[in-house]
Homo-oligomer: A and B are copies of this chain.
Amino acid sequence: MEASHPAVPWDRDELTVGDLAARSGVAVSALHFYERKGLISSRRTSGNQRRYRRETLRRVAFIRVSQRVGIPLADIGAALATLPGDRTPTAKDWRRISQAWHDDLDARIEQLSRLRDHLTDCIGCGCLSLRRCALTNPHDELAEAGPGPRTLLVEGLEPDGSDRPA
Contacts and interface: CB of A to CB of B under 8 A. Distances in A.
A134 to B, nearest CB: 11
Contacts of A147: 70, 146-148
B115 A112 contact: no
Interface in A87-146: 88-95, 97-99, 101-102, 105-106, 108-109, 112-113, 115-116, 119-120, 122-128, 130, 133, 135-136, 146
B148 A68 contact: yes
Kindly report how many copies of this chain are found in the complex they form together.
2
Nearest to A152: B25
A162 to B, nearest CB: 11
A57 interface: yes
Interface residues of A, number: 65
B61 A130 contact: yes
Contacts of A38: none
A52 B106 CA distance: 40
Interface in A47-100: 54, 57-58, 61-62, 64-65, 67-70, 88-95, 97-99
A8 interface: no
B120 A95 contact: yes
Contact of A125 (B22, B25, B94, B149): B94
A125 B95 CA distance: 6
Most B CB atoms within 10 A — which of A99, A135, A147, A148? A148
Given A67-B149, A98-B119, 10 more contacts: A22-B155, A25-B155, A58-B128, A88-B165, A91-B125, A91-B126, A92-B126, A102-B120, A105-B112, A147-B147
